[in-house]
Amino acid sequence: MLHNRGEVSAATKEKILSIINDLDYRPNFLASSLASKKETSFAVLLPKAPTKESYWTRPLSGIDRAAEELAQFGVKLDLYLFDTDGSASFNEKTVDILENPPAGVLLAPWISREAKLFTSTLDALDIPYVYIDSNLKETHPISYIGQNSFQSGYLAAKLLNYGLPEGRVFLLIHIGRELDNQNHLHQREQGFFDYFKEKSIQQKIIKMEIQESEAELKQQIATKGLAPEKIDCVYVTNSRVHIVAEYFSKRGLHPRILGYDLIPPNVKMLKKDAIDFLICQNPEEQGYNALNALFDHVLRKQPVEKEHFTSIDIITRENLDYYSAK
């Protein structure tokens, strides 16, 4: 009757339509998709995980789980993984994506400048995209799914500073390559500094940037004329906090240390009490929800949240087992 098939009296039709309106009826898109067996391709653009223990295996796990659930509706994924040691690999993958334009793109805009260029092309082609891990201003994703990076940096400052007098030595350490092009790390840094500024707390905060080795950290500490035993707190803005924890642990030192993510090397150092706090970004949840957001927007024609902030979970040695059991 809804498709005007068959003989239905005007009175009966009016009554049925009234009931439908009361029930807020929507056509069964999912059943139609199953019947049509039409395939819809989404592109996924993420950093390549260097090891099975690396952070970037986690959002991919969530994406894979969502893809398995959505496969029955004709959803197909094309995976593009770029190297994180420069922009060339990212650019190559974006060219590959645009050679066969997908119905939508899920990406981590890990390299800000290049991501802005790529998404401007997606805008021009009217291809929707969803961000995970970090958000970019002056771009137009249908949704960002991840933490509020500024707020997590602000919280990190509060946790590390708790109960300390003024005049303590803090390190803020960015670890990785292309650091000037990683927007989310700078947002965390801004949140960290803003906490002390807003609270008018005078601490000595020293910023460092290293690529990924403990030897680099040792050299930078020496170059800045710091005695390791005089360092009170360390904030590492990403998941490589275990590198810093190893450095201090080998020297029998235990400044307060905070970093990100429940990857195995971080969990190991947390259990040893060499890391005090880990902020968990729920990367599996980010990946899972991002693919579902694309599906809802492209195929179900449903509105999605412009910003879906995941929880900022604080993990310590004492609550690790309970958190891991969830």
Distance (Å, whole) CA 130 – CA 306 = 9
Q: How confident is the model at residue 10 (pLDDT cuts 50, 70, 90)?
A: low
Topology of domain 29-147+283-309, per CATH?
Rossmann fold (3.40.50)
pTM: 0.84
Same fold, 29-147+283-309 and 149-280: yes
Can you say how many angstroms the Cα of residue 34 is from the centroid of all Cα atoms in its chain?
31
| Residues 41, 102: Cα–Cα separation, whole Å | 5
Radius of gyration (C-alpha) of the chain in whole angstroms: 24
Residue 166 pLDDT exceeds 50: yes
Q: How far apart are CA 95 and CA 80, in angstroms?
A: 11
Tokens read off for 249: 């642990």
The predicted model gives 184-205 an average pLDDT of 97
For position 86, what pLDDT does the model report?
75
Give, in order, the Cα–Cα distances in Å from 173 to each of 181, 238, 259, 268: 15, 9, 10, 20
Query: What pLDDT does 22 receive?
Result: 56
**What does the mean pLDDT of the chain come to?**
90
What tokens were used for 101?
A: 């334009």
**Strand pairing report for 104-107 and 129-132:** parallel
Q: Where are the domains of the chain?
A: 29-147+283-309, 149-280
pLDDT-derived band at 2, boundaries 50, 70, 90: very low
Q: Beta strand 277-280 with 313-315: parallel, antiparallel or unpaired?
A: antiparallel
The closest of 97, 63, 66 to 82, measured between CA atoms, is 97
- The answer to whether residue 8 scores a pLDDT higher than 90 is no
**CB–CB of 55/263 below 8 Å?**
yes
Multiple choice CATH, 149-280, 3.30.70.270, 3.40.30.10, 3.40.50.300, 3.40.50.2300: 3.40.50.2300
Indicate the pLDDT class of residue 149, thresholds 50, 70 and 90.
very high
